[in-house]
Amino acid sequence: MPGNAACANNGRFPAPLFWAGHDLKQAVMIDLLLSIAAVLYIVCALLLAIFIGSFGVLLVIYLFKRAEPLVLPDVSDEALPSVTIQLPIYNEAHVVGRLIEACARLDYPVDRLHIQVLDDSNDETTTVIRHKIAECQARGFQAISLNRRILRAGYKAGALAYGLYKVKTDFVVVFDADFVPPPDFLRRVIPHFHTDDRLALVQTRWDHLNAGYNWLTRIQALTIDNHFVIEQAARSRGHLPMSMNGSGGVWRVSALKDAGGWSAATLAEDLDISYRALLRGWRFLYLPAVTAPGEIPPQVQAYKIQQRRWATGMTECLIRHALPLLRSERYPLGYKLMGLAHLSQFAVQPFILLMFLLTPLLIAGEMFHRLPNLSLLGVVSAIPLVMMALAQRALYPDWRHRLLFLPLQGAVGAGMVVNNTYGVLMALHRRSVIREFKRTPKFNLVHQGQRWARSRYALPVDAIMLGEIVLGIYAVLGLALALRHLPALAFYMLSYVLSFWGLAGWNILQTHRAGLRLSRQSAAALPGENAGYVGRG
């Protein structure tokens, strides 16, 4: 991020580019507009510094509380409660059989376990499900049911609400189609509910089935690990707002119903129900030692659609829950502010984009020398990098090697700002057609030799990519200005050139290899699944 250090050019500035050839009146008007741009830039920088500073709070909590043990309560088999495993499915032929098999092999009293397959598919996935259910029942596991709806209203949230209406057990577990829960999952989670009657949710850590598949999966693994190892652990142990992550979470049914149940009012149904439960006084727990491995999207377009959906859903939840959270008399101010930061994780994307757009204008107008010292922004920007490094060190013996992908992670993150900003704007544009998305496709990728490109679930690129290409050109112009007038900002502009064009080029290359074309649908009219968000929850 450009700061005050970038403002000086040996104390000498050439004549402002915007003023050349203009009379005094026009020059005054241009100066006024540039001053407004400078104020906007400062506001964006301060908001970003405050937002990133909230991660500093989480980092401090993690460092001081990471050693606190979480003891598994001793609960006999006779005292274990009944559990329903809910599996919301939509066109997941590649992975649904693997999921059902893993759930049927969970180590739990069979008379207190039921698997509820909530299938909205319109392809051969339903046939795969029927065959797998028949296999499980032939082995003696009878407590598994296939539930289908006439209309796929509400997408994932609608399916979960439909299933919850039929649930007769004390607890429900939700797994997305690409997850493979280990056999001891329930035995390591359910006993924690016996120690606290107000415990509504136990969320487990996401592990990865295909983190090393390609560069994109490695980059996403860095972000996911940071979220679960540092952020969720700090929120849970620091008694701050946290949420379910869409999959791998266990809910107390009475808490779900008390909070109003699943709702399709937002595209982040997991975050929405979490905050409704928190505002009702329910408590959450995160278990970093219990994992539920899932598949990371290997395709750039799939990743972009997933992030765009999360951006829309999180921003909708911010709009929906910010005022109730601030008005709540149940929680102190610090809790509320951390909750707002939590809900704003994608809402800051437009400010990042605006800072980028303003930078060339401020260079041309020689405005950076007028800005206050913004070096603090550069300092706090290092906090997420420290968190990612600590997360890798906590999980993997080869953590140093994994950190080599941090620069690429930063580049992809910068390149995603257009895509994510569009998702945020969609949250402000509440028409239902705008809020329909394709689901994130899963391909059953475990080994590097496996291929996804020829799957019919592979996605074509959409019009957002054109915006990335155009902004890459704009970044080149900004780079030229920086090299000539303010070299200290040249690397900042170059990073956006590489990020926008690198992401777009990667997307085009993958699409070409898959034999796909540019989607004729607009990015705002992609039908599909509403799924939960990760980030950062």
Write out the catalytic residue numbers: 120, 270
The sign one gets for the Cα dihedral 34, 40, 46, 51 is negative
Residue showing tokens 């006084």:
281
CA distances to 15, 36, 323, 415 from 363, in Å: 12, 14, 38, 21
Buried b (16+ CB within 10 A) or exposed e, 48-78: bbebbebbbbbbebbeeeeeeeeeeeebeee
Could you give the CA distance from residue 329 to residue 315 in angstroms, rounded to a whole number? 23
Q: What is the DSSP string of 369-388?
A: GGS---HHHHHHTTHHHHHH
Helical ranges in 66-191 per DSSP H: 96-104, 125-138, 155-166, 185-189
Query: Could you tell me whether strands 249-252 and 199-208 are parallel, antiparallel, or unpaired per DSSP bridges?
Result: antiparallel
Could you give the CA distance from residue 24 to residue 17 in angstroms, rounded to a whole number? 14
Residue showing tokens 């606190």:
68
Structural tokens at position 245: 């992550």
CB count within 10 Å of CB 315 equals 27
Beta bridge partners of 171: 83, 252
Q: Please work out, in degrees rounded to the nearest 5, the angle formed at the alpha carbon of residue 150 by the alpha carbons of 146 and 152.
A: 90
Q: For residue 482, what is the enclosing H or E element? A: helix 464-485
> Are the C-beta atoms of 346 and 423 separated by less than 8 Å?
yes
Q: Which of 284, 276, 247, 245 is nearest to 260 (CA)?
A: 276
Half-sphere exposure of 137 (CA within 13 A, CB side): 13
